[in-house]
Amino acid sequence: MKHIKVEKVSKHYKGDGVETRALSDVDVKFTKGEFVSIMGPSGSGKSTLLSIVGTLDQQTSGKLYFDEKLINNLGLDDLADIRFNNIGFVFQQFQLLQTLTALENVLIPLFNRTIHFNKKERAIELLNLVGLSDKLNSFPSQLSGGQQQRVAIARALIAHPDWILADEPTGNLDTQTGNTIFELLQQLNREKKCGVIFVTHDPLLAEKASRVIEMKDGSIIKDREGRSV
């Protein structure tokens, strides 16, 4: 999947008679291989946009295209397949299962999937890639925050995605650890040609992307080159 296109996408939430406009008529296009940061104050719609782009959530109106294909009307099973084959997710809270080892956590997305590679070999290879070859059998509680996020990144890569969508992946980490996680995402972008969409509060990290998108009140207010174009 080379392109993700968002066309006039809005998302409204209704509750207690109050309507929240999380996104208003957002237009944006992402191309595989880009490293894009999304910045903006809390509540500006960053997570909502990322969830819609990743088909985890649905817009109230507007269109989402993967390459030339309109995604809006697909059923949940088709969406799950497209997601599995194209997109890896990384979250602020790591989202690891506490009762599973690092290796087992990396294998989670393959549960119930028919695939054409050796699952365990692939998981071990990815844990090597993220620098955790000696932690295969450790549980999340035995790992530091940075190590847990590395497990989550290995998990995101298990099905060879074209895209990694990361929602504040450094938000729970100290500055130095956050930098190393950012560098790992940069490395994946460089070496595996993954498109990375990276939501962050940290302007210093955001500027290191090739493209910086700034959001405010549910709109994109700036879309410009970053320092590493």
User: Which positions lie near ligand ADP, rule CB under 6 A?
Assistant: 13, 15, 20, 22, 40, 42-48
Closest distance of CB 99 from Mg ion, Å: 27
Whole-angstrom distance, CA of residue 222 vs CA of residue 53: 18
Whole-angstrom distance, CA of residue 138 vs CA of residue 114: 26
Binding partner of 55, given Mg ion, ligand ADP, none, CB within 5-8 angstroms per partner class: none
Closer residue to ligand ADP, CB minimum distance, 103 or 199: 199
Q: Which stretch binds Mg ion (CB under 5 A): 41-49, 139-147, 172-180, 213-221?
A: 41-49
Give residue for tokens 């695939």: 115
| Contacts of 189 by beta carbon, 8 Å cutoff, 6+ apart | 33, 35, 195, 196
Closest distance of CB 197 from Mg ion, Å: 13
Give yes or no for a contact between 221 and 215, defined as CB atoms under 8 angstroms apart.
yes
- The total number of residues shown for the chain amounts to 229
Closest distance of CB 38 from ligand ADP, Å: 8
Fill in the amino acid letter for 145.
G
Whole-angstrom distance, CA of residue 39 vs CA of residue 140: 29
Closer residue to ligand ADP, CB minimum distance, 143 or 209: 209
Closest distance of CB 30 from ligand ADP, Å: 17
Max Cα-Cα span within the chain: 53
Closer residue to ligand ADP, CB minimum distance, 13 or 117: 13
Q: Which stretch binds Mg ion (CB under 5 A): 42-50, 103-111, 124-132, 176-184?
A: 42-50
Binding partner of 117, given ligand ADP, Mg ion, none, CB within 5-8 angstroms per partner class: none
CA–chain centroid gap for 42, Å, is 18
Whole-angstrom distance, CA of residue 66 vs CA of residue 208: 26
Give yes or no for a contact between 8 and 181, defined as CB atoms under 8 angstroms apart.
no
Closest distance of CB 166 from ligand ADP, Å: 12
Give yes or no for a contact between 36 and 30, defined as CB atoms under 8 angstroms apart.
yes
Q: Draw the binding track, 56-95, toward Mg ion (x: CB under 5 A; -: no contact).
A: ----------------------------------------
Q: Which of 44, 47, 55, 86 binds Mg ion (CB under 5 A)?
A: 47
Strands 219-225 and 69-70: unpaired
Closer residue to Mg ion, CB minimum distance, 203 or 228: 203
Binding partner of 101, given Mg ion, ligand ADP, none, CB within 5-8 angstroms per partner class: none
- Residue numbers at the binding site for Mg ion (CB under 5 A): 46-47
